[in-house]
Amino acid sequence: MRRALEFLVTRILRSRLGVALVIAVLVFGVIGAARLISGPVDPTTGLSNRPREPISTVDPEAGDDGVLSSPTAVPSPKTRPGEPTPAQMAARFTNAWLGGPGSRAEDWLARLKPMSTPALTEKLTGADPERVPAQRVTGQVTVRPRTESFVQALIPLDNGQLRLDLVAMDGRWLVDAVDWERQ
C-alpha cells in the first residue's frame, strides 16, 4: 500500500494526466454535492418548459405590413378632379422628353418642369436634350400602381423602354424619376 501511494504521489499526480484527473474528480464532486443539496428537480421548470402555442410578436388582427402584397390589395391611384391621370401625365411627359433633340436645353427643361417634381427638375438642369436616347413612342403607357400616391409608368419607345416614377402631390401627379432601358 505504501508503494502504491508513493507511486501515485510521485508519478501520476505530477503528470498532466494526473492533474487533469484530479480536477475532473473535484468538478464532478462539486456538481454531485450541489445536486444532493438542491433536492429533486421539477422537469417542467427552466429551459425544458416549452410554450404550448407558437410565440407571435405580430398582432393577427392588424393589416398586412409586408413589402410585397397581392395584386388585389394594391389601392387604385387617387387623382384630383380635373387633373390628368397618371397615364395621361406619363404620356405628356414622354412627348415633352422626346421633343428635346433640336431644341435649346432651357426650352426643353421649361416644357418638362410643370410635369416634374422639384427634385427631378434639379436633376435635369444642365442635361443635354440632344442625348435623349429615343425618338418616338411605339405603344401604350402601362401603369403599375404601387400605392394611392405612387405609380410606375412603362412606355415602349422605338429602341427601348422608358420607366417613369410618378408621385401624387395632393392628387396632382408629377414625374419624380426617369429611367431608360435599352432593348
- List, for residues 42-99, the tens digit of each pLDDT value: 665 655 566 666 676 766 666 666 665 555 566 788 888 888 999 999 999 999 988 7
Its sign, for the CA torsion 137, 143, 144, 149, is: positive
Please give the pLDDT value at position 41: 67
Q: Is the pLDDT of residue 5 over 90?
A: no
Instruction: Spell 139-158 as b/e; 16+ CB within 10 A means b.
Output: eebebeeeeebbbbbbbebe
pLDDT tens, position by position, 128-155: 888 888 888 999 999 998 888 899 999 9
C-alpha distances (whole Å) from 19 to each of 7, 28, 30, 94, 177 are 14, 14, 17, 84, 74
DSSP 8-state class, residue 137? B
The continuous run of DSSP H or E covering 106 comes out as helix 105-112
> Phi/psi at 5 (nearest 5 deg)?
-65, -40
Q: Tell me the DSSP string of 11-27.
A: IITTSHHHHHHHHHHHH
Q: Is the pLDDT of residue 175 over 90?
A: yes
Say if residue 54 is exposed, middle or buried (CB neighbours under 10 Å; 0-12, 13-18, 19+): exposed
Question: With bands split at pLDDT 50, 70 and 90, how would you rate the model's confidence at 100?
Answer: low
**pTM greater than 0.75:** no
Please give the pLDDT value at position 112: 92
Please give the pLDDT value at position 167: 93
Please give the pLDDT value at position 121: 92
Please give the pLDDT value at position 46: 58
The residue type at 132: V
Q: Is the pLDDT of residue 122 over 60?
A: yes
Please give the pLDDT value at position 67: 64
- The span from the first CA to the last CA of the chain, in angstroms, equals 95
